[in-house]
Structure 1
Amino acid sequence: MAKPPLSPEALAALYGPHPSHFPPGGWEDESRHPAERLVKTHCCFCGQQCGIQLKVRQNQVIGFEPWEEFPFNRGMLCPKGVKRYLQSGHPDRLLDPLVRTEQGFRKAAWDEALDFTARRLREMQERYGKDAVAVYGGASLTTEKAYLLGKFARIALGTRHIDYNGRLCMVSAGTAYKLAFGVDRSPNPWSDIPKAQVLLVAGANIGECAPITTDYIWRCRDNGGRLIVVDPRMTPITRNADLYLPVRPGTDVVLLMGLLHVVLRDGLEDRDFISQHTEGFELVAESVRPYDPLTTAEITGVPPDAIEKAARWFGEAERAIALHARGIEHQSKGVENCLAIINLCLATGNIGREGASCMMITGQGNGQGGREHGQKCDQLPGQRSINDPEARSHVARVWGIDPAEIPQGGCTAVEIMEAIHRGEIKALLSICFNPLVSLPDAEFTAAALERLEFFGVVDFFLSETAHFADVVLAGSLHEEDEGVVANVEGRVLHIPKAVDPPGNARVDWTIYCDLARRLGKGQFFSYKSSREIFDE
């Protein structure tokens, strides 16, 4: 069973996390030994993917410079972006594969670690069936890695159980946008934010979680725009709001329906837009009829006059934008919350125009691209549904297999843990996901990990989850491989390779290709570069 070989304190003492505030060589080293080159790339720590230039010397990232020409952040960086370059040379960085023993983790050669992993995965499937193995991915992987992981799960392992950590947050927004617009993308670029006359921010702690977006909001206000903030807490951005709606947790959908009620009651809807570009308006209008300001106030805790004012500001504006993030998405009714905010924009005609839209603030590094290319349990590459026969046939032709060989949809990220508890899933392979921290119930998650008969992790640090692993395969950072990502706007960005992985660490996609060869499916994973994965 997958249990930590030492106490959490002992593992933390050996593998971190330890603070590291200094670049390789210290702060003064660069003045004596300047960088050999600057590599234009992007910060990996959130979905904004701000432009940054990494300073490289002797295959090490030693610092950074602003990239002022990149249009999204124009050289600005938040504290996370300023420190992101320190990951590469961090003392806790994993430099070799690790294999768990009774005395702790020991370093292993790659052949030993990969042979052991492939053997255990094969044993689990021979004993319990293909679906006894599950795969976890992550939204911060490059799009090539996300694509490869889905292919690996479905061809190399033949399992239907693959999902990723974006399931916990952004998937509800993606589902709502696909239901409303047929595509999982924010309709407008961030450059439209300063052009809005009214900006409604719902469930988004922008000042701390998306600091560069704060600049866009300040420019909106400098242009005379009004700021409405919906949040149970007085977050930093709230202190500068023109109107603050302190919604009771879990009642966001009622508040948004109450706003639409006032819009329709006062005739502020755009009837021409509704008739020409929408369907189902009558059903939505009927659904919000009970939520007058007094009723809405009783449920949400927001004063009736504030509800009236917010609805009138949004409905009367020629150009209004609604920005939302995890606060309304990371709920059991996340899809309904997002649909409610979309309905408010549709009813007022605030969509598809400059300075008028609803927009989701994607959270993770490649949160947009990472959820489009097949590492979700219900999805094939290109946002294709795994249940669509035409989509299955198309992907099967690309992969060179029969459509019947593609497994059906499997469990979501949380459901995988539940299936482990039920004894249905016996082995798990995870990359770019720390479920012990990310999933809702840490005790439930830890108990599930302990029930696994095999647990493998690909990571560049020994995370809390990796403490439970039988094998940890030392993987790569953002700047140690070439690929593409999609940022919060849906802007596709190139990530050039700046340095090689340190020590004996390896580029992530090569690890999975080697595993596929050991599982007898190497003919489907004969890539020589990430560019070949991109082309496929």
Structure 2
Amino acid sequence: MSESAVETHCPYCALQCGMGLRRVAGAEPVEVVERAGFPVNLGALCGKGATAAAVLRPGVRLTSPLVRSAGGELRQASWAQALDRIGDALTSTARTHGRDAVGVFGGGGLTNEKAYLLGKFARVVLGTSTIDYNGRFCMSSAAAAGTRAFGVDRGLPFPLADVPRAGCVVLVGGNPAETMPPFVRYLRELRENGGRLIVVDPRRTRTAESADLYLAPRPGTDLALALGLLHLVVADGRTDKRFIAERTTGWEETRAAAMAHWPEHVEAVTGVPLPQLRRAAALFCDATSAMVLTARGPEQHAKGTDTVSAWINLCLATGNAGRPYAGYGCLTGQGNGQGGREHGQKADQLPGYRKLDDPAARAHVAAVWGVDPAALPGPGRSAYELLDALGQEVHSLLVMGSNPAVSAPRSARVADRLRALDFLAVCDVVLSETAALADVVLPVTQWAEETGTLTNLEGRVILRRKAVDPPEGVRSDLEVLHRLARRLGHPDGFPSDPEEVFAELRRASAGGTADYAGISYRRIAAEDGVFWPCPSPGHPGTPRLFLERFGTEDGRARFTPVQHRPAAEEPDAEFPLRLTTGRVLSQYQSGAQTRRVPALNSAAPGPYVELHPQLAERLGVREGEPVAVVSRRGRTVSPARVSGAIRPDTVFMPFHWPGERGANAHTNPALDPVSRMPEFKVCAVRLERA
């Protein structure tokens, strides 16, 4: 990499690929260059990463605070006017309706420093329990299942470099060829090394095309599939009895639950032929070591936690956990989806992945913050429950790093709830669909204009460095919290310097599950990131968890007996098809940034409805013709994309677009009872010619 380039990281997914930013003359403030030395991507970048600098252009982003006038228009205002308006509104709401009527909604793209200070701001300055974040929509089911099985939630309990050294990898409901392309090299190396790849997805995606075995279950049946595979493993005598006896608990109940799911029944439920089920079980058990990696496909369901638990049970039963090149892992989606939930912006957590209802955790964090533990509020509403309460129990809301008007399930209702608020303030880089509804919009710095840490999907804490100065009039989220805290009577404890915030985060996380006490900016820079837990400066970090013991009190992994159950909304005569949603290569999340990058937007300019040729013929719909998707929650119209890559009983829509084109107009807010994850991945619809 050029000596003049600043070493940093991509602003998008949880790979957090290394890149360099080099100053150039002309329209672009910097250009993206290769950073070949960073081990995760070795210089490779997808189209989103390669064009990331385009979002830094002056004409793309906000450069002045906006305040809604008496006439209803957003108009430019000074920072003092905007912050005074926010401070007055939050104070008035708390005085009139109580502290919990003030809400805070964060994001999985915020740096660790921002996530930490936002959680502290909510609980210390606002005194509210009403805080959660959009990461609840990302991998909360995997987090809940991992915690109850292993006692620790870290997306991957091993480094990415271990993936190609496994004998078999089962990838469930993930399409990294489009969502995180640099990851695909690990799957390619796996097969080059003689390992086998099994892909589970209702669509034959680009990733599935490279699989040794492809399984296409009906959306909402991954739980039955995992139980059927475990049944076959038990029936064929392929369990690891020694591992089960020495390193786990709860096997007998789990075994009984699996044996109730006969393979023939699982075939009928999932649509996966029995010979394919048998081959999958054989490939998994024949391998010297095996992994299961899940993504949003099995997780974003009202039974997502149980589904992930079933896949974890398969790993435990075969001894594929707690040893090299084997185990369960989750492909985290958002850039800081891992770190974003570790340090306090989640409704039930304190820094270090401590539980908010744990007296010892409250005492430790309160001591760092200099407050009485009794003053800290208890756990609050989960993300969708918080959004659904807007304008009713929650009257004012501060949003930082999220666009729920597009990304939340049943998005039309969420947009209505946002409009029903007495007051909405949004901190964002661009005028997102959520920001457009706000009473005050604050323009904040973005990835290349600030320094901060993030934690990638491996649990590797990395440092994203400032490369350019922000435009005049733009401030950092940390400075926003600093200034608001001062206005609300807390002049100390909310620094705007990220390294100072990180130093406090280290103290607050010390002794917790996600212990960052031994991590520093200097050390991250010297070591290409540090894996947590790292409890002291002399500790080497922990790339591989569970090799000696699991994170439970007795060191044993816990089986969880689970039973298959239908989706919250099954097809019927009125809505005979299943809709599933996902991403496309050239867009990201709600599209607030990528839809403003010309190269990406021209590659993926709008949504579409993918349907099987048999279904298209039955409806009389041709490629490119408009087709209406109708559900119990809405109606959208998009061009048809006819493809044999999808099941005939299923349709697919990408979710990066808002309003009447948005897939999330249909998605079902039915919640998982453990993780509170909404059921994004399946709902009942019908198609109509438009």
Structure 1 counterpart of 2:368, one-letter code: V
Q: Distance in 1 between matches of 2:25 and 2:3?
A: 8
Superposition TM-score, scaled by structure 2 size: 0.71
Q: Distance in 2 between matches of 1:56 and 1:133?
A: 42
Q: Displacement of 1:236 after TM fit?
A: 0.7
Q: Distance in 1 between matches of 2:73 and 2:417?
A: 20
SS of 2:336's equivalent in the other structure is coil
Q: Unpaired segments of 5 or more residues in structure 1?
A: 1-34
Runs of 4+ in 1 over 6 A off after TM superposition: none
Q: Distance in 1 between matches of 2:25 and 2:133?
A: 35
1:465 matches 2:467: no
Structure 1 counterpart of 2:470, one-letter code: P
Partner in structure 2 of residue 28 of structure 1:
none
Partner in structure 2 of residue 446 of structure 1:
415
Q: Displacement of 1:352 after TM fit?
A: 2.4
**Does the CA-based 8 Å contact 2:339-2:456 persist in structure 1?**
yes
Q: Distance in 2 between matches of 1:54 and 1:405?
A: 44
- Give deviations 1:427-470, integer Å, cap 9, x for gaps: 10001110011101111111101110000000010001111100
Partner in structure 2 of residue 429 of structure 1:
398
Partner in structure 2 of residue 92 of structure 1:
60
1:68 matches 2:42: no
After TM superposition, the structure 1 = structure 2 runs for residues 170-181 of structure 1, keeping only pairs within 5 Å, are 170-181=139-150
After TM superposition, the structure 1 = structure 2 runs for residues 377-456 of structure 1, keeping only pairs within 5 Å, are 377-420=347-390, 423-456=392-425
Please, which of 44, 56, 67 is the counterpart of residue 23 of structure 2? 56
Partner in structure 2 of residue 290 of structure 1:
260
SS of 1:493's equivalent in the other structure is strand
Q: Distance in 2 between matches of 1:199 and 1:528?
A: 43
Q: Displacement of 1:388 after TM fit?
A: 0.2
Partner in structure 2 of residue 25 of structure 1:
none
**Does the CA-based 8 Å contact 1:41-1:51 persist in structure 2?**
yes
Q: Displacement of 1:341 after TM fit?
A: 1.0
After TM superposition, the structure 1 = structure 2 runs for residues 240-259 of structure 1, keeping only pairs within 5 Å, are 240-259=210-229
Give the fraction of aligned pairs with identical amino acids, expressed as a percent. Answer: 47
After TM superposition, the structure 1 = structure 2 runs for residues 238-387 of structure 1, keeping only pairs within 5 Å, are 238-387=208-357
Please, which of 3, 6, 14 is the counterpart of residue 47 of structure 1? 14
Please, which of 157, 161, 173 is the counterpart of residue 130 of structure 2? 161
Q: Displacement of 1:37 after TM fit?
A: 2.6
Give the aligned CA root-mean-square deviation in angstroms.
1.4
Structure 2 counterpart of 1:242, one-letter code: D
Q: Displacement of 1:90 after TM fit?
A: 4.8
Structure 2 counterpart of 1:317, one-letter code: A
- Give deviations 1:363-383, integer Å, cap 9, x for gaps: 001111111000000000110
Partner in structure 1 of residue 503 of structure 2:
535
Instruction: Choose between structure 1 and 2 for higher RCO, CA contacts under 8 A separated by at least 6 residues.
Output: 1
Structure 1 counterpart of 2:21, one-letter code: L
SS of 1:41's equivalent in the other structure is strand
1:38 matches 2:5: yes
Partner in structure 1 of residue 600 of structure 2:
none
Q: Distance in 1 between matches of 2:389 and 2:50?
A: 41
**Does the CA-based 8 Å contact 1:501-1:507 persist in structure 2?**
no
SS of 2:194's equivalent in the other structure is coil
1:226 matches 2:193: no
1:512 matches 2:476: no
Q: Displacement of 1:523 after TM fit?
A: 2.3
SS of 2:31's equivalent in the other structure is strand
**Does the CA-based 8 Å contact 1:41-1:53 persist in structure 2?**
yes
After TM superposition, the structure 1 = structure 2 runs for residues 60-209 of structure 1, keeping only pairs within 5 Å, are 61-101=29-69, 102=71, 104-185=73-154, 186-209=156-179
Structure 1 counterpart of 2:107, one-letter code: G
Q: Displacement of 1:79 after TM fit?
A: 0.8
Superposition TM-score, scaled by structure 1 size: 0.91
Distance change (3 Å), C-alpha of 1:194 and 1:156: same
Q: Displacement of 1:528 after TM fit?
A: 5.0
SS of 1:85's equivalent in the other structure is helix
Q: Distance in 1 between matches of 2:305 and 2:235?
A: 25
State which drifts further: 453-462 or 87-96.
87-96
Q: Displacement of 1:483 after TM fit?
A: 1.3
Partner in structure 1 of residue 461 of structure 2:
492
Structure 1 counterpart of 2:244, one-letter code: I
**Does the CA-based 8 Å contact 2:34-2:44 persist in structure 1?**
yes
- Give deviations 1:33-62, integer Å, cap 9, x for gaps: xx9931000101000000000112589742
SS of 2:329's equivalent in the other structure is strand
SS of 2:320's equivalent in the other structure is coil
SS of 1:509's equivalent in the other structure is helix
Size of the aligned set, in residue pairs, is 500
Q: Distance in 1 between matches of 2:366 and 2:29?
A: 40
Structure 2 counterpart of 1:429, one-letter code: L
Q: Displacement of 1:475 after TM fit?
A: 0.6
